[in-house]
């Protein structure tokens, strides 16, 4: 038996140590979970932050759609290299949108 295990064993066998649950702490944690991702740390700028994030997400999604439209247009006029470049940009913008969406939720 290792020396590190001995104190645990003696504490487990001791009637002096009882397990107690912090009910107030659990209740506070439940309230925080119900409140969602918005925390008091946002302060008075919460509404402005949420508005900016939503606007940024909308902008990124519009860019995705534009690049994809250009991709299909270029592909339709037999310009596969240009079409490929537009698709790369569309996917980059989609990755940006995903990062913003993760931040929002």
Q: What is the pLDDT of residues 10-28, one digit of tens each?
A: 555 555 677 788 888 878 7
* pLDDT for the residue numbered 2: 47
Give the pLDDT score at 105: 83
pLDDT at residue number 31: 77
- The model's pTM: 0.59
- Phi and psi at 21, nearest 5°, equal -110, 135
Share above pLDDT 90 across residues of the chain, in percent, rounded to a whole number: 46
Angle between helices 80-104 and 46-76 (to 10 degrees): 160
pLDDT at position 62 is 97
Token readout for 9 is 């064993």
């Amino acid at each position: 038996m290792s020396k590190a295990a001995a104190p645990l064993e003696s504490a487990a066998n001791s009637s002096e140590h009882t397990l107690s649950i912090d009910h107030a702490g659990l209740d506070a944690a439940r309230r925080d979970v119900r409140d969602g991702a918005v925390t008091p740390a946002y302060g008075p700028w919460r509404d402005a932050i949420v508005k900016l994030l939503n606007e940024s997400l909308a902008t990124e999604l519009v860019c995705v759609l534009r690049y994809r439209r250009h991709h299909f247009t270029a592909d339709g006029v037999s310009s596969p290299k240009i079409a490929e470049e537009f698709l790369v940009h569309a996917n980059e913008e989609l990755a940006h949108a995903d990062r913003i969406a993760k931040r929002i939720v």
